[in-house]
A and B are shown apart, each in its own frame.
Chain A
Amino acid sequence: MARFIVRRLVGAIGVLFVISVLTFLIFQVIPNGDPAARIGGQHANAATIEQIRRTWGFDKPIYEQYLKTMGQIFSGTVVSYSQGVNVLDSIRHGLPATLSLALGAGLIWLGFGILFGVITAIHAGHFTDKALTVLAFIGVSCPPFFLGALAIYYAGYKAGIIPLGGYVPLTQDPWEWFKHLIAPWLVLSVLFIGIYSRVLRSTMLDTMNEDFVRTARAKGLSERQVLVRHVLRNSLIPVISLWGLDFAQVIGGGAILTETVFNLHGVGQFAAYSISALDVPPVLVVTMLTAFFVVLLGAVVDILYALLDPRIRLAG
């Protein structure tokens, strides 16, 4: 177990390093991407821009700029080029909204994904299966900003049930927090419910043909026991693995579209804004944050694997 964790940690540091270097380089090779010109604004003259370039250190070699920026990230003093505010503060500000979105949506899509997966697997080939299959297909074909726009218009403007976007902290008013998040949760979940129910359905159908399921039936277990203890438990592995990765991406700002259309001011929206402004430091921090969560939850998922499937051992 200890070796497993150490190996994962080393791997994580490697991934974070490569991603930070690449992100930095992408923004260096952009034509017209001169950060000094952008900080100076439209009316800055050459002398001002040269001045900015020297104060911010843009005249230094790339590796020196990279090391300086990384140092600032780890000491918490990194400042965005376009807004001049502390990046870590901005992310800390956006994190509650993003975490609330991820937790609520993650539970909804996992729950309904498993529910619909089990229903369609049990009734494979029947009407319920076909109807839910159609729904799943529609779900994965709908972009979240389209669903979000429809929700804001019909449930917000027309019916007045939900607010028109924005985020209210849980500590400030739990009911308002819920009302602001229910539509984003559902909109974000639709796609994942479609995917998860299909994955679970097909793995369950595969598992049902396994010998150990026949053995379980033969030794007289009830159909329900066979389903829950043998079929479902073995089929949940790919779903759990999917969930870990998707959840990590949403925490790391991957729900850019949902956050933007509902104006949640989360990490994803902050990332989207910073990228459009070609602002290196925030993008660097957000991509590293995402990669960190992906690696972290990847390890958690592997540990869960071992708990679900006794045949799997965590080796170093």
Chain B
Amino acid sequence: MAIDRVTEATGTDFSSGLPDELLREEEEGKLPPGTGPYKLAWRRLARNKGALAFGGVFLLIAAICLLAPLYANNIAHTGPNDTHITEQIIIDGKPTYVVNTIGLPIGPTWHGKFFLGADPEGRDEAVRLLYGGRNSLEIGLVAMLLTILFGVIAGMIAGYTRGFVDGVLTRMLDVIWAYPVYILGVALGVSLAVGGIGPLHGNSLMIPAVVIGFVYIPYVAKPIRGQVLGMRQREFIDAARVQGLSDLRIMTREILPNLASTIIVFVPLILANAILLEAGLSFLGAGVQPPNPSWGTMISEGVRNIPASIHLVIVPGLMLVITVLSINVFGDGVRDALDPRAKVRVSH
């Protein structure tokens, strides 16, 4: 037997074991017969309080970041890129420079203005944090949608057609996969940031989104392909073909619904990884371009200001970790709920 490399083995497996107590009730027949799989999954998820709590944390962060303009206009009275280097603010009745004479910015004031302090250019850290979060989440979301869309299409076509088309598609996926994620991401990110791509300008937020979305395609396409390969041997596909359904119809009406639970499991996994990759690329200067804030660029600016202003690292860093953590824990709950025995992995 030749060994094919187990592609799914390259990554996180976060199935928290078998929640037997959740399955037991169903096996004992307390639910009416014929309860649909998604209804069962929903019931399991609803009882996983930890996962729900983290899902709530993520929604809360997303909502707060969406309200960034409201905070900027009504509480902080400044924009994310407005500098206040030479200005003074009143703290405890004493006027204080936002950035002092040796270039050190003020730390958190815990007041409306400069709630979390300022950066060396005199910009309000809290305002930037919210706008940066909006950018980071937006990029993560778009990248995730692109990855899922193209990953599912490529995986489905490769697995369904087999033969030559499969060979070509699989080789292409293998090549993307053979690049280290960061090297490919930085190469594409830097090159596209110079000249833009199509209608997108070099400093557009959608450039890192497209790059990240592209880099992760194989991690979705390969498992989907494997699943479709197995599925097309099953009787219901034969039945569909005997009925005279077209290939396109078989793929969209027969195969796609059966991939739904896998796709749902991938959504939070890819989202969390995309947000982390955005931060990494921005840290290396290949993601969001300054002066646009994102959590990655903010940490990167903070690292350059160590040791004077550690709050510039901690504030965006903690936000990033909490956000990714809540997506990961919620995603784990979703996976357990959909299929307690499933193993879907994604690489970093």
Distance between Cα atoms of A108 and B186 in the complex (Å): 28
What are 17 pairs between A and B in contact, CB < 8 Å? A26-B188, A27-B191, A30-B195, A141-B272, A141-B325, A143-B317, A146-B313, A149-B306, A153-B313, A195-B12, A256-B183, A260-B283, A271-B183, A283-B187, A290-B179, A290-B183, A305-B3
A217-256 near B? 1/0 per residue, CB < 8 Å: 0000000000000000000001001100100010011101
Give 3 nearest A-B pairs by CB, closest first: A31-B195, A141-B325, A30-B191
B284 touches A257 (CB 8 A): yes
| Residues A242 and B190 in contact, CB atoms below 8 Å apart | no
CB pair A252–B180 under 8 Å, yes or no, is yes
| Cβ contact within 8 Å between A146 and B317 | yes
List residues of chain A with CB within 8 A of the CB of B182.
254, 256-257
What is the distance, in angstroms, from B311's C-beta to the closest C-beta of chain A? 11
Asked if B234 is an interface residue, CB under 8 A from chain A, the answer is no
Do B179 and A142 touch across chains, with their CB atoms under 8 A apart?
A: no
CB <8 Å contact, B186 and A272 = yes
CA distance A146 to B329 in the complex (A): 20
Tell me, yes or no, whether B84 is within 8 Å of chain A by CB: no
Judging by beta carbons under 8 Å apart, are B180 and A202 in contact? no
Residues of A within 8 A of B329 (CB): 137
* CB nearest to B316 among chain A residues: A146
A198 touches B175 (CB 8 A): no
Residues in chain A near residue B313, CB distance under 8 A: 146, 149-150, 153
Q: How far is the CA of A305 from the CA of B18 in the complex (A)?
A: 27
Q: How far is the CA of A188 from the CA of B194 in the complex (A)?
A: 30
Please encode chain B, from 288 to 329, with 1 for each CB lying within 8 Å of some chain A CB and 0 for all others: 000000000001101100110010011001001100110011
Contacting residues, chain A, for B1 (C-beta < 8 A): 312-313, 315
B178 within 8 A of A: yes
Contacts of B343 in A (CB 8 A): 202
**B15 lies within 8 A of A152 (CB):** no
Contact of B11 among A26, A33, A195, A314 (CB under 8 A): A195
Cα of A183 to Cα of B269 in the assembled complex, Å: 28
A66 surroundings in chain B (CB, below 8 A): none
Among A275, A278, A298, A313, contact of B183 (Cβ-Cβ < 8 Å): A275
Partner of A242, one of B10, B18, B183: B10
Looking at the complex, which one of B3, B192, B314 makes contact with A314 (CB distance below 8 Å)?
A: B3
Tell me what chain B mostly uses at the interface: helix, strand, loop, or mixed: helix
Q: Which residue of B lies closest to A147 (CB)?
A: B317
Q: Contacts of A312 on B, CB cut-off 8 Å? A: 1, 3
- Measured between beta carbons, the chain B residues less than 8 angstroms from A199 are 9, 12-13, 345
**Does A145 lie within 8 Å of B283, measured CB to CB?**
yes
Among the listed stretches A16-24, A49-57, A83-91, A169-177, which one makes contact with chain B, having 4 or more residues with CB under 8 Å of it? A16-24
Chain A residues near B12 (CB-CB < 8 A): 140, 194-195, 198-199
Closest chain B residue, CB of each to CB of A152: B306
Q: How far is the CB of B25 from chain A (nearest CB, A)?
A: 17
B183–A133 touching, CB < 8 Å: no
Residue among B178, B183, B188, B317 with max Cβ neighbours from chain A (10 Å): B183
Q: How far is A30 from B10 in the complex, measured between Cα atoms in Å?
A: 31
Contact A245 B10 (CB under 8 A): yes
Q: Chain A residues near B348 (CB, 8 Å)?
A: 140, 191, 195
Q: Which of A266-286 contact B (CB under 8 A)?
A: 271-272, 275-276, 278, 283, 286
Bound: A301/B6 CA distance, A: 11
Q: Which of A142, A205, A294 contacts B178 (CB 8 A)?
A: A294
Not counting A153-B313, A291-B178, a sample of 7 additional A-B residue pairs whose C-beta atoms are within 8 angstroms of each other reads A31-B195, A143-B276, A195-B12, A199-B345, A272-B186, A286-B183, A290-B180
- Confirm or deny: A63 has a beta carbon within 8 angstroms of a beta carbon on chain B: no
- Give every chain A residue within 8 A of B186 (Cβ-Cβ): 256, 271-272, 275-276
Q: Please name all residues of chain B whose beta carbon is closer than 8 Å to the beta carbon of A9 when the two chains form the complex.
A: none
| Known A-B contacts A31-B195, A256-B284; A124 and B17 likewise in contact (beta carbons under 8 Å) | yes
**Chain A residue at minimal CB-CB distance from B179:** A287
Q: Which residues from A are CB-within-8-Å of B325?
A: 137-138, 141
**A118: interface (CB < 8 Å):** no
A138 touches B3 (CB 8 A): no
CB distance from B88 to the nearest CB of A (A): 28
B204 CB, min distance to chain A CBs, angstroms = 14
What is the bound-complex CA distance between A141 and B326, given in angstroms?
Answer: 9
A133 with B303, Cβ < 8 A, contacts A257-B182, A257-B284, A260-B284 known: no
Cα–Cα distance between A194 and B276 once the two chains are bound (Å): 15
